[in-house]
Chain A
C-alpha cells in the first residue's frame, strides 16, 4: 500500500529561526595545553552545557570534525554522561562549523535526536601543527600528492597563495590594505581577555614581519593554539527554557565549492573564491542580504581569506576587498565589524568555531570583555572601544559567519538575536 505523503517537495522549505544555538563552550586558548584532545573536548562540552543551563546528559546528538587530530564523539559522549541517539565524526577543517550546524538541523528536523552538541578539540600547537610543520610535513608522497607536495607546495598558506597573488595583480590590492585585516583584528583582540595575542599591531608591524611565503608575512598568518570549542543546537521552542537569549539560525550554506576541488586553479578566475557560489544559497535561505548584516565572522586563517570572502559574498564589489577591509567598516564602532574576538589571527585557532561563538555572544548582547558587571550578573557595556575596553557591538541584531576551507570551499551561516 502506498504511504501517504504530506510534503510538497517542489516548494522551497526554509527553516528560518526554527533552530537556535543555545550553548557555547571554550577551553582556554593556549600553547601547551598539557591535556589530550579528549580532555579538552569534554571540558568545552561541559562548559557549553553549563552555558545553556542544561545537563550534559540532555545532549543526545553529537557532531565533530577534525583532520585525524582529535578524539571521536564515541569517547567524548561517555565522559560527559551522555547516551547518544545520533553521532558523526567528519573529516575537515575550516568551513566545517557552519556545515555541521546545517547537518545538526537536518537530523533534528528528521526526528533523529533533540539536542546536538558540536565540538572541535585540537592541540594545534603542541601536537599536530596547523601551519603544517612537524611530523606531518615529511610524510611519504604518494600518487596525487606528487602534483603538489613534490614541489614544496603543501601547507595551507602555500596552497592558497596563488589566489592571493593573482588578486593583487588583477585589482591592484596592496600589502598595506591587506595588513589592515590583522591591525583591526588585533584591536579587537586587545579587548578580549581570552585572546592568545592581545597586542595591537600596526601596518608597519605586519609588513616588517618576515616573509613566510610571498605574499604572506608572518603576521598575515593565524596563530597556532591548543583548545577545544563546543556549540549546542536545539529547536527554538525549547530554547525559551535555557539560560541565554538564543541565537536563531536564519540560514546556512555548507561546504559549497568551486568546480574541480581536486585542483580548483583549473577553472577561473583564480582570485574568485567559493563565496561567489555560496552567496546565492546563503542569502535566499536566510531571507536577508549583506546590507542587513551588523557583524561578520569572515574566516581569517590569513589576512587575505577574510578579504576574499567578504568580497565574493557581496559585502563589496569584486576587486574592492582591499578598500573594504582598510576603510574602517570592519572595526568595532564601524558599520560592520569583522571578527570582534580577534579571530584566528589573534584569539586562537579552532577551524572556525570560535568565530561562531563570538557572534552568539554578540547577539546575546553579552560579550565577555572587561566592562563592569551590572546588578543581574550582566556586563554594563560602555561601547568605548579603546585598548582594553568594550567589544560589544551596539544594538546588534543579525550576524553572518563566512567559513573557509580553501579558495575552493566555503560554508556560511546567518544568525539573528532571538
Chain B
C-alpha cells in the first residue's frame, strides 16, 4: 500500500509499486536500519536498488546494519532552496561512511548514508551544534518519524565515541 506523510511541511509519498523504498523506510519507521544485502556477492548497498551494483544480481535480503560511522563530507546550507528548510538555516547535509563495509569492495568505497545533522531526538540541529561537526566527526543514526511506515534516518553526534580534537571544517566560518 502506498505511504503518504508530511515532514517539516513537505509532502512525502512512496507508491505502492515501489517495494524497495517501502521496505527501506518501513524498517526506518521501526527504528531498525536495514539495507539490501546481495544474495550472491554478499555486499550491502545504499540507497535501495532493484539489482546489485557490484555483481548485478537481482536477489537480495534486507539485513540489519549498525547505524554508526564517520562524516566523510558535508555541506552547510545557509540559503535554503527547499522552502520547508527556510526556517532551519544553517543546516547540514552529511555524507557518512558507515563502519560496516567501510573500505569494501575497494579502499575508496563505503556505504555513504545521507542525512541531516540533528539532535539526539532527530530534530534539525541548532547552529551551535552545526559548528562542532566536520569531516571526521563520529556520528550515530537516529530517526525522524514521519508517519506509520515512514521515518527518515538522520545523524547525531555520537557522544559515546572518542571524537577528533578538531574535525575538518571549511576554513571560512
Q: How far is the CB of A178 from chain B (nearest CB, A)?
A: 11
- Taking chain A's interface residues, is the majority helix, strand, or loop, or is none over half, making it mixed? mixed
A155 part of interface (Cβ distance < 8 Å): yes
8 A Cβ contacts from B66-88 to A: 72-85, 88
B121 part of interface (Cβ distance < 8 Å): no
8 A Cβ contacts from A16-35 to B: none
Of listed A131, A140, A147, A259, residue having the most chain B CB within 10 A = A147
Given contacts A144-B21, A162-B73, contact A152 B114 (CB under 8 A): no
Q: How far is the CB of A286 from chain B (nearest CB, A)?
A: 29
A209 to B91, CA, bound (A): 19
- Whether B49 contacts A169 by the Cβ 8 Å rule is no
* Contact among B46, B91, B152, B170 for A150, CB-based, below 8 A: B152
A144 to B168, CA, bound (A): 30
Query: Residues 130-173 of chain B: 1 if any A CB is under 8 Å from the residue's CB, otherwise 0?
Result: 00000100000000000000001000000000000000101110
A147 to B77, CA, bound (A): 17
8 A Cβ contacts from A228-286 to B: 259-260, 262-263, 265-270
Query: Residues 34-59 of chain B: 1 if any A CB is under 8 Å from the residue's CB, otherwise 0?
Result: 00000000000111010001000000
- Whether A158 contacts B10 by the Cβ 8 Å rule is no
Give the contact-size bracket for chain B: 35 or more
8 A Cβ contacts from A175-234 to B: 175, 207, 210-215
Contacts of B12 in A (CB 8 A): 140-142, 146, 150
A133 part of interface (Cβ distance < 8 Å): yes
* Contact among B73, B80, B85, B109 for A165, CB-based, below 8 A: B73
- Whether A270 contacts B72 by the Cβ 8 Å rule is yes
- Whether A152 contacts B15 by the Cβ 8 Å rule is no
Q: How far is the CB of A163 from chain B (nearest CB, A)?
A: 7
* Contact among B18, B91, B114 for A148, CB-based, below 8 A: B114
Contacts of A215 in B (CB 8 A): 75, 170
A211 to B75, CA, bound (A): 11
* Contact among A133, A143, A152 for B77, CB-based, below 8 A: A152
- Whether B111 contacts A266 by the Cβ 8 Å rule is yes
A174 to B73, CA, bound (A): 16
Given contacts A266-B109, A268-B110, contact A162 B74 (CB under 8 A): yes
Q: How far is the CB of B134 from chain A (nearest CB, A)?
A: 9
Contacts of B106 in A (CB 8 A): 268
A213 to B114, CA, bound (A): 16
A268 to B72, CA, bound (A): 11
B61 part of interface (Cβ distance < 8 Å): no
Given contacts A152-B93, A152-B116, A266-B112, contact A146 B171 (CB under 8 A): no
Of listed B53, B90, B106, B111, residue having the most chain A CB within 10 A = B53
* Contact among B53, B78, B168, B170 for A266, CB-based, below 8 A: B53
B33 part of interface (Cβ distance < 8 Å): no
Of listed B11, B47, B75, B85, residue having the most chain A CB within 10 A = B75
* Contact among A146, A149, A267 for B108, CB-based, below 8 A: A267
A138 part of interface (Cβ distance < 8 Å): yes
- Whether A214 contacts B170 by the Cβ 8 Å rule is yes
Given contacts A131-B81, A141-B12, A152-B84, contact A161 B21 (CB under 8 A): no
- Whether B152 contacts A146 by the Cβ 8 Å rule is yes
- Whether A132 contacts B81 by the Cβ 8 Å rule is yes
- Whether B114 contacts A147 by the Cβ 8 Å rule is yes
A210 to B15, CA, bound (A): 39
A74 part of interface (Cβ distance < 8 Å): no
A169 to B171, CA, bound (A): 10
A154 part of interface (Cβ distance < 8 Å): yes
A38 part of interface (Cβ distance < 8 Å): no
- Whether B109 contacts A163 by the Cβ 8 Å rule is no
* Contact among A149, A169, A262 for B168, CB-based, below 8 A: A169
* Contact among B14, B18, B82 for A137, CB-based, below 8 A: B82
8 A Cβ contacts from B1-47 to A: 7, 10-15, 18, 21, 25, 45-47
A268 to B101, CA, bound (A): 14
- Whether A269 contacts B47 by the Cβ 8 Å rule is no
User: Using a CB–CB distance below 8 Å, which chain A residues touch chain B?
Assistant: 131-133, 137-138, 140-144, 146-155, 158, 161-163, 165-166, 168-169, 174-175, 207, 210-215, 259-260, 262-263, 265-270
* A152-B81, A175-B172, A265-B112 known, 11 other contacts, Cβ within 8 Å: A140-B11, A150-B12, A152-B84, A165-B135, A169-B73, A174-B171, A211-B78, A213-B78, A214-B75, A214-B90, A215-B75
User: Using a CB–CB distance below 8 Å, which chain B residues touch chain A?
Assistant: 7, 10-15, 18, 21, 25, 45-47, 49, 53, 72-85, 88, 90-91, 93, 95, 106, 108-112, 114-116, 135, 152, 168, 170-172
CB<8 Å pairs between A and B, sample of 5: A143-B13, A143-B21, A154-B82, A168-B170, A174-B171
Closest 7 CB pairs of A and B: A268-B108, A161-B75, A152-B85, A214-B76, A162-B73, A166-B73, A155-B81
